[in-house]
Every structure is written in structure tokens, then in C-alpha cells.
Amino acid sequence: MSLLDKDKYWQCADEHVNEDEHDHVHGYDHERDNPPPASVNRRSFFKIMGLSTAAVAAAGCKRAPVAKIVPYLTKPEEVTPGEALWYASTCGACSAACGILLKTRDGRPIKVEGNEKHPASRGGVCAMGQASVLSLYDAARARGPLAAGKATTWAELDAAVKAGFARAAASGKSIRVVTPPVVGPTADATIAAFLAAFPTAKRVTFDALPYEEAIADAHAATHGARVVPAYNFGGAKVVVSVGADFLGTWVSPVAFTRDYAKARDPEGVRPMLRHIQIESTMSLAGANADRRYSVAPSDEIPVLAALARRVLERSDVAGKDTLLAAVAKIGPAKFDARSLDAVAKEILARRTEALVVSGSTDVRAQTLVNIINYALGTTVVSSARPLHRLAAALSFAEFLAELKAGSVGAVLLCGVNPVYAHPDGAEIAKALRGIPLVVSTNDRVDETASAAAYLAPSHHFLESWGDAATALTALSLSQPAVTPLFDTRGTWESLLAWAGRSSAYYDFMRARWEKEVFPVAADAGASFQAFWDRSVHDGVAALKEAPEAALPFRIDETQKALEGIGASPAVGGVEVALYAKVGMRDGALANNGWLQELPDPISKATWGNYAAMSPALAKKQGLAEGAGVTVSFGDRKVTLPVLIQQGTHENVVALALGYGRTRAGKVGNGVGANAFALARVDAGRVQLCRPGAAISATGAVEPLALTQTHHSQEKRALVREATARPASCRVTPRTTSRPSARTRSGAAARCTGFASTVILKDRPKTRASFSNR
Amino acid sequence: MGSQQGYEPAQPIAYSHALHAGELQINCLYCHSGAEKSRHAGVPSASICMNCPAQVKKDAPEIKKLSAAIESGTPIEWTRVHRLPDFAYFNHSRHVAANVACQTCHGAVETMVRVKQVETMTMGWCLDCHRNTEKETRSAAKRIAPTTDCSACHY
């Protein structure tokens, strides 16, 4: 029993609710798990001491091992051994493509930092970007090209793959290039060059977390352009986010965090940005919101529709009535109508400075978002000068249908892992095995690459050239910071080789920049060489501000896109919400120990995922934290320990994606469970929420690795609270800077309030509590 | 590990500091240029060595080893003489900037045919200098007050 006021200081909810400290909550019992070293008495202690001292002394007589100094034969001019070199580049850990600076020593990248010159990320870089340098040295990466699992040479692989493509082309079968939706403009051009070389070839995009595709497809309907628009969180005065964790994982979280922090600076511009979050699982954005509402995922579309209706009624935009009629067909929301009125009132009060975003993977939800933003006439979202332009491509659903129909002769998988990250992964693997030629450019023999006959492993992004369109008026550039560690070749280099182009990817990219980027560069100068050198040096090239032609809102297409949503059918059971975790996202970097070890900013859990649920649901189900549960939809099931997370909707079980990899490598394999298995496929599209799950307790208890409950006081009442008079409060800071007898003995005093409260961090006084250590 | 004082290993090429730094009076920093800007003084690359003997004494057996290394592309593996443990951070450039003579720590290298560790290079030996320098330079125009903070070297 601590001397502290439990209403003020508690580390976890259990501690707050129960009288006792949390020690016994997570299956950890300090006294049981750390028995006092009773077996070591004073005598044996000196024996051990003596032995170890002798061992040190014996070692001390030896010479140090012979060390070598191996200088360069010819030292590169810019290298000074012992001094770090910094290179500007672009992060490849996700499609946000933030600007990074790489610290390299002796030609080895050792640290990723943000690039302040980058107009989007402005010196910021997220946990995944920071950790990506470790993945460069990942021992599970493929060391060279493989054919049927056996090492081969690039020449042999190229010959076999080219022959395979030629066979597929000759037999009239199609060739499919599966890539992520956003790969960068030069990579897009490379794919186009490849497609031009093979008339039956087409591009397919696969996005493990398909919300960007949903946003782009909604914009294709509403604005006639398949884009992810640019969001200006810094210019907005009200943000309503329906399930979009824009500070943690959504679209470009680093850039958004910069804008958001600036707009919410107490010293900065007024009025401050107001933020309303409506979500089913507790997210980083939700934790920062001024007002947060909990909503079931199945209620998101009705909530957006209700908001759209309220906004449309109070607006006079063209096509208002058509849109209202379309929106009215959507069933009523279970969400509290008065709260909806309050939210609508806030955005209507700001209109052009209001921004509504959604994290839904449902195109219809994103369409409703576009309707709301259109009806508001908001100026803080721009589809005319977008963040990403998604290249025309077949959807993954169309590709799967083709695979099953047997019309595909060759498949090229470029940095995608659908066998892991798709609910029908096992079927995809089976279908791929029946294709005459399957080539993967993944960096390791992962779940998908093991279904491919050929592995043409790509470089890590720190070993590659590349570019990315990340900011409105800038192009971000990647340069290799290290000679490739293994016998790998960049994906786009491979594509060029297979397309019969003789040029290296570097030359291809440079030529493209000279032809297409140089003429539109903001401060190009006279010579391309100087412009190129400066762009490589800065990691980014500013582009001229192109005149913005606003895209008209297409009423009829929008109406069509909303067709088919009726009242949401009543499904029993709990709803599953699958979400991207800040340090893991789609699980591509699951073999990175730093990311596995990183505590989630909300749950503080490390190593693995869990079934997060509200205290109410846990109570209803009779589940305690750490209890094993099986979440199932028929024969699709996932078993995970329970984590009680306040803020989760009371009928929702939230599962993080990215875990449960089977072929990621030593670190990531078997950590957590693969929640992609529970995703819903609706008309070919993967949806990350699904109602109607059954939950059953397994009876097992698995303690969670939570950092939240580190630093327990072990019932010793180290932190004490006392009330002091203002006079003594003034004294306390001095005692911390100049140690008194008291602070030397391990106590520290801290003035926490203006006048009254002092927390004394004290050493235990009694012998009894000391022996507990 | 014990003190390495007196350590004088044989080197793959019998390079003589007595000849180069002593007789020919080549400045230490000509070859160990890293000492001015980096924590490591550095051992010159083979191409720097070849700047001179290539013109002077092509056929000497030891210089032939050098040209062979360059021709075969095999770097020369010198045996390290002075070595601080990994838990101690040392930066040459700071000491060069404070005008500490190379010989203060490395001994009279310009008289050594084969380089030998003269000093003990223990922590006490570092601290002797750090403590006394402040006193010695107190009245001088450029007062140097080296730190004796633990975390200056151990962090």
C-alpha cells in the first residue's frame, strides 16, 4: 500500500481501480520472481569475490590481443577515418517518403535522422524510418538471386526470366507486375517502360493497408482523378477524423504531425486547431483530440452519411439535392444524434477551414468524406495538386480473378507480400504455384517469395537510387549510402534489364530527371549537372508552382459510387477492427528487433499483438488482461492475449496487423498472430473491419510485455507526497542543484506545484522494505 | 588488460620513423593527417606512401612490398601499437588543437626505427596531464583547462 493518493498517481487502470499496486496484475510477482539471495551469506560472498578478482588479475597479466590497422590503399578524398559522413536521402519505410539524413561511418549507414530541408517532413522521421537502418543489416535478407531456392547468378536468372516472359507473351498469356500503389515517379516510368516492352503486360497494385487506394478510388469517382489529395492540417481550424490515425500511421504521419503541432502551439496562431476524433480503437491521434467519440466500425459509414446530410442541408453547393438524396438512402447511425449535431456545428462554423478525414478502407466512406469536404468548400484539402497520383493499374481483386481463370502466364511481384498480408493468402500462394513463371524481387524469401520460382532480391532502400513525389512542389531523391552489402539488384534495375534496356537505373533516372524534372525545377540554373548535384546533395528538388486547376466535383459519378449502401445489416457478435500499429504498420519490417521492442505509444506493449478491448467488453466476456482468446469468423481464427484498452468501443476487439509473420526471419517469425486472416473481402476489396466475430477464452494466460508498468515502487513507497508551505517550496530547487546531506543519501526533492505540493523521492527507511530489493 | 608499455611489435613493412620523421624531418601530420580533424590520427593509405619512394628508391625490398600491395589491391595490415580500451573515448583533433606535441603521448617517435609504446596510457597517466596542464597554463596567454569529468571520456 503506497502512501500516494491513488486518484492522482497510478500506472495502469488496475492500480487505479484496486487498492494494491499492479505487481500481481500481469502475472508478475516481485517476491516470487526475485527471491532474495539467501544462499549468499557474507562468507560465500567473499569467496565469490575473491575468485572473480583472481580471474581479473590473471587476465590482467596478459597482453591485449594483437590489433590491426588496415588503411585504404587509396583513400577516397571525402573520407576521414573516425569522422562521420552525412548523406541526404529519402526514407523507404513507407509511402510517405520523408526526407532523411544518413549518418555513415566507414561507408556504413549507422543512423537515420530527419532532413530539415525536406518541405514535407521538415526534419521529422518516424520510428519506422529510424529503425529502418537496422533492416539494412538484417541477416534474413537474401544474399543473392535464387532459382527454385538454389543460388544462381544474375546472368542465368535474367536469361531464364526473359525466356519465361517471352514464352508468356508468345502464348498470348498475360504478364502481371504487382507493385505497391506508390513507388515514385521514376519507378512508375520504369514500370511503364517494362509494360511497353511486353504488350500483354499490365500493372497490378497491392496495398496491404488499402486505405490510400480507397481514398484514391473515391477521388476517381468524385473528382475524376485517382489521387491521394494533399491535406493541410496546419491551415485547418477544425479537423474531424473518423478513424484516421493521422499522427501515427495514416498517409503521411510525420508531415501531418509537424503541421498539427504548429497549428496547436499555445504560443502560435489563434484560434488554435480544434480536433475531434471519432474512432473505434484508441489511436495516437485520438489520444491528442480535444473531443473523442467512440464508434463501432460498422457505424462509420452511417456516421459520415449523417454528417454529410447535416452539412449538405446547410450548404448551397451545386448538386446539393442529388447528393442529399443519395446520402439519405444510407441507414441511420447508431451514434448519438446530439453528438453528431455538435460535430456538424463545429465544422459548419469553420467551413473552408474545416477538414474531415477518414481512415476507412471502404471507398464509400471515403466518398462521403469527399462529399462533406465539397459541401463545406474546404480549402485545406487539395486534389488538384495531390500528395500522390496513383498510376492506372488493375486492382488486386481483378488480378486474383485472372489468376484463378488461368489467363496469366507470368507474375512479377515487386516488394509486395500478399501471401502474408491478404486474408486469402494461402489461396494466393496456391494459385501462384500454378503459374508458369513467378518472379519476386522481395528482399528475402518471405511468405510470397517462397511461392515464386525465382527470387531477384532487391536492394535495401539505403543501397538504391530512387525518387518520390512527397510534397506539393518538391521531388524527393534517394541515393545509395552504402555499396550493396549482398549480391542484390534494385527492383527497377531488374525491370529495366528484363525489358531489354541496357541502361542502368541510375542513368535511366538521371535521364528522366534531365528531361522531365529539370525544366520544371524552381531554381534549376543553367546546367543540369549543377542542378543534379545540388538535388543529390539536398535530397530534394524544389519544383515550380504549377497553376492549380481545380477539379470539378462530379455529382453523377459520386451518386453512383454511393449506390448499394442500405441500412447496415444487424450482425450479432463483436466487431473486429484491424489497425496499423505505429511501429509495425503492414509488418514489412517485422524482422526488425528495434521495432518489435518499441512500446506502442498507446498500449505500451512490446513484442507481439493482442486483442485490445474495452474494460466493459472484457468484463462482459469474463476476461482478464493476458487471458488468451480466440477471435473467429467460422474457420478463420486468431488466438491472442487480451489487452484491456480504455477508449476501445465497447463492442469492438481491436487487433494490430503486421504480426504473426512466418517467413520474415529469426526476429519476427511467430511473434504475435496474423490478423490479416480476419479481414473481410467485400467485392474483391479487403476491408479492415468486420462485424460478427465470436470470442472464446482459451483458458491460457500469456503475460504481456508492457512498459507501462515498469518502474514499480515494489510496495516500497519511494515516491511520497507531502504538503509544504510556499516558503519551503522556494527552497527545494536549491537542494537539487547543490546536494545537501539528504540528497546525497539518494533522496531528491522536487517542487511540483506553484505553492503546495512537493514530491519527495525517498530511500526506504525500514530494514524490512530494504530486504525486499 | 595490463599496461602495454614497451610494446614494440614487428610490422609487415619495416618502415622507419627514425628515417622519415627524424632524418628527413617530414611533419607527423603529413602522413597522419586525420589527427587534425578526426578522433583517429589514421595510418596513411598506401598511395600516400607511394608519393615519395616511387621517385626515390623503387628497388628497395621494403618498398617493393608497398608497390606489390598496390598492384595486387591488398591493403597493408599494420599492427596496432597504441590502443585505448573501447570504453574510453579519445579524440586526436582536440589534443592537436590544444598544441599537445605528438611526442607527449607517443614518445620520441622520430628516433624509433620500430615504433614502441613509451607511456603507460592508463587513466592515471591521462589525468596527470589533464590536471597539470591547467596549472601550467594558468598564467600563459592561452590558458587550457582540460576536463577531468568522468563522462568526458567514458560515455
Rg (CA), chain B: 18
Mean pLDDT of A610-628: 93
Cell of A137: 543489416
Residue A25's pLDDT is 46
Report the C-alpha dihedral over residues A110, A115, A121, A124, rounded to 10 degrees.
50
Asked if A60 and B2 come within 8 Å (Cβ–Cβ), the reply is yes
Asked if B40 and A81 come within 8 Å (Cβ–Cβ), the reply is yes
- What would the pLDDT profile of A127-184 be if each residue is shown by its tens digit? 999 999 999 999 999 999 999 999 999 999 999 999 999 999 899 899 999 999 999 9
Lateral strand order in the sheet of A274-279: A291-294, A274-279, A238-242, A354-358
pLDDT reading at B64 higher than 90: no
Rounded distance between C-alpha atoms, residue A267 and residue A279, angstroms:
29
ipTM: 0.89
Cell of A534: 545540388
Backbone angles phi, psi at A652, to 5 degrees: -125, 140
> Smallest Cβ distance to A73: which of B34, B70, B79?
B70
B76: contact with A, CB 8 A cutoff: yes
A-chain residues near B38 (CB < 8 A): 80-83
Higher model confidence: residue B73 or residue A741? B73
* Averaged pLDDT of chain A: 85
Q: Which residues pair with A629 in a beta bridge?
A: A640, A697
Which residue of chain B has the CA closest to A84?
Answer: B38
A-chain residues near B2 (CB < 8 A): 60-63
Residue A12's pLDDT is 74
Boundaries of every domain in chain B: 17-43+78-153
Lateral strand order in the sheet of A85-90: A85-90, A99-105, A108-114
Which residue of chain A has the CA closest to B82?
Answer: A67
Those residues with Cβ within 8 angstroms of residue A698's Cβ, 6 or more apart along the chain or in another chain: A627, A628, A629, A630, A639
A525: contact with B, CB 8 A cutoff: no
Residue A760's pLDDT is 45
Closest residue by Cα to residue A435 from A417, A414, A459, A411: A411
Residue A45's pLDDT is 65
The shortest C-alpha distance from A109 to chain B (Å) reads 18
Beta-sheet pairing, A705-706 with A605-606: antiparallel
Percent share of chain A, pLDDT over 90: 64
Backbone angles phi, psi at A549, to 5 degrees: -95, 110
- Chosen for mutation from A63, A80, A106 (greatest number of chain B CBs closer than 10 Å) is A80
- What would the pLDDT profile of A742-757 be if each residue is shown by its tens digit? 333 333 333 333 333 3
Rounded distance between C-alpha atoms, residue A12 and residue A624, angstroms:
14
The shortest C-alpha distance from A87 to chain B (Å) reads 18
pLDDT reading at B3 higher than 50: yes
Residue A32's pLDDT is 61
Q: What share of chain A is helix, strand, coil (3-state, %, to 5)?
A: 35, 20, 45
Cell 511540483 belongs to A752
3-state helix/strand/coil string of A232-261: CCCCCCEEEEECCCCCCCCCCHHHHHHHHH
Domains of chain A: 146-207+391-461+489-522 (3.40.50.740), 230-382 (3.40.228.10), 574-706 (2.40.40.20), 713-771 (no CATH)
Residue A732's pLDDT is 41
Indicate the range of A286-290, B37-41, B139-143 predicted with least confidence.
B139-143
Residues in chain A: 773
B33 to A82, A709, B38, B53, B119: CA distances (angstroms)? 12, 52, 9, 19, 22
Mean pLDDT of A460-469: 93
Confidence band (pLDDT; 50, 70, 90) for A726? Answer: low
A-chain residues near B39 (CB < 8 A): 82-83
Which residue of chain A has the CA closest to B69?
Answer: A73
Asked if A80 and B45 come within 8 Å (Cβ–Cβ), the reply is no
> Smallest Cβ distance to B73: which of A63, A70, A73?
A73
> Smallest Cβ distance to A66: which of B37, B47, B79?
B79
Cell of A579: 489497425
Higher model confidence: residue A7 or residue A773? A7
Closest residue by Cα to residue A125 from A466, A133, A4: A133
Cell of A730: 522556494
> Which residues 8-37 of B are in CB contact (within 8 Å) with A?
9, 34, 37
> Smallest Cβ distance to B1: which of A60, A80, A81?
A60
Rounded distance between C-alpha atoms, residue A97 and residue A181, angstroms:
13
Rounded distance between C-alpha atoms, residue A173 and residue A403, angstroms:
11
Residue B155's pLDDT is 84
- A-B Cβ pairs (cutoff 8 Å, strict): 76
Rounded distance between C-alpha atoms, residue B122 and residue B129, angstroms:
12
Asked if A68 and B43 come within 8 Å (Cβ–Cβ), the reply is no
Crossing angle (nearest 10°) for helices A363-376 and A337-350 = 50
B75: contact with A, CB 8 A cutoff: yes
Asked if B2 and A66 come within 8 Å (Cβ–Cβ), the reply is no
Residue A597's pLDDT is 94
Confidence band (pLDDT; 50, 70, 90) for B79? Answer: very high
Backbone angles phi, psi at A611, to 5 degrees: -95, 100
Which residues in A70-165 belong to E strands, given as ranges?
Answer: 85-90, 99-105, 108-114, 146-147, 150-151
> Which three-class secondary structure state does DSSP give residue A676?
helix
Rounded distance between C-alpha atoms, residue A217 and residue A224, angstroms:
9
B-chain residues near A82 (CB < 8 A): 34, 38-40, 42, 92
Asked if B46 and A66 come within 8 Å (Cβ–Cβ), the reply is no
> Which three-class secondary structure state does DSSP give residue A728?
helix
Q: Which residues pair with B78 in a beta bridge?
A: A69
Residue A153's pLDDT is 95
> Smallest Cβ distance to A72: which of B4, B38, B75?
B75
Buried/exposed code over A604-621 (b: 16+ C-beta within 10 A; e: otherwise): bbbebbbbbbbbebbeeb
> Smallest Cβ distance to B69: which of A64, A73, A80?
A73
- What would the pLDDT profile of A19-42 be if each residue is shown by its tens digit? 554 444 455 555 566 565 555 666
Cell of A279: 474512432
Residue A749's pLDDT is 38
Backbone angles phi, psi at A417, to 5 degrees: -135, 65
> Which residues 56-95 of A are in CB contact (within 8 Å) with B?
59-64, 66-75, 80-83
The shortest C-alpha distance from B6 to chain A (Å) reads 11
Residue A758's pLDDT is 41
Residue pair A157/A145 in contact by the 8 Å Cβ criterion: yes
The shortest C-alpha distance from A69 to chain B (Å) reads 5
B-chain residues near A62 (CB < 8 A): 1-2
Asked if B34 and A82 come within 8 Å (Cβ–Cβ), the reply is yes
Phi-psi region of A651 (alpha: psi -120 to 50; beta: other; left: phi over 0): alpha
> Smallest Cβ distance to A68: which of B2, B44, B77?
B77
Give, as one character, the DSSP assignment of residue B18: I
A-chain residues near B45 (CB < 8 A): 71-75
Beta-sheet pairing, A454-455 with A437-440: parallel
A-chain residues near B34 (CB < 8 A): 80-83
